[in-house]
Amino acid sequence: MAFFDKLNEMTKIVSEKANDSLETNKLISEINLTKGNIQALHRELGEFYWAKFAVGEKLDDEAMLICDKIVLAQDKIKVLEGQIGQIKAESEARKAEREAEKAEKKAAEKAAEAEKAAEKAGIEREPVCSGCGAALAEGVKFCSECGKPVE
């Protein structure tokens, strides 16, 4: 009988501990939920005062200081976004320059190929622009198609 009494006592202890743990977890969840609600209320309070500041209403000195810090942070963001835009614009310009160089090289290669083909065939060809491959009139200094100086 003593064995069953001990087993019964242990079962009660385990059950009480499980119930205590369950109740504690429920309370911890309730605390976390309430903390989240407090954070939302802080945010709402901040938005309320920010709206007053935004329309030019005078706030107490501490609130004005915080609002001024926010304005400075927003200004910094604008400057940083401007720097990002400048980096992107410079990158696009470099890309366009590389593409123009590729096109110029390709046109020069085409002109050289055409020149070789004409030589092979024994045909005298008129001069062509090394930039775009357009035919050049005699004595011109710039290509009439792309404006590149004649070499």
pLDDT tens, position by position, 30-77: 999 999 999 999 999 999 999 999 999 999 999 999 999 999 999 999
Q: Which pLDDT value is given to residue 50? A: 94
β-partners of residue 128 are 135
Note the pLDDT of residue 123. Answer: 66
CB within 8 Å of 138: residues ≥ 6 apart: 126, 127
Burial environment of residue 94 by CB neighbours within 10 A (0 to 12, 13 to 18, 19 or more): exposed
Q: Assess whether pLDDT exceeds 80 at residue 109.
A: yes
What does the pLDDT read at residue 140? 84
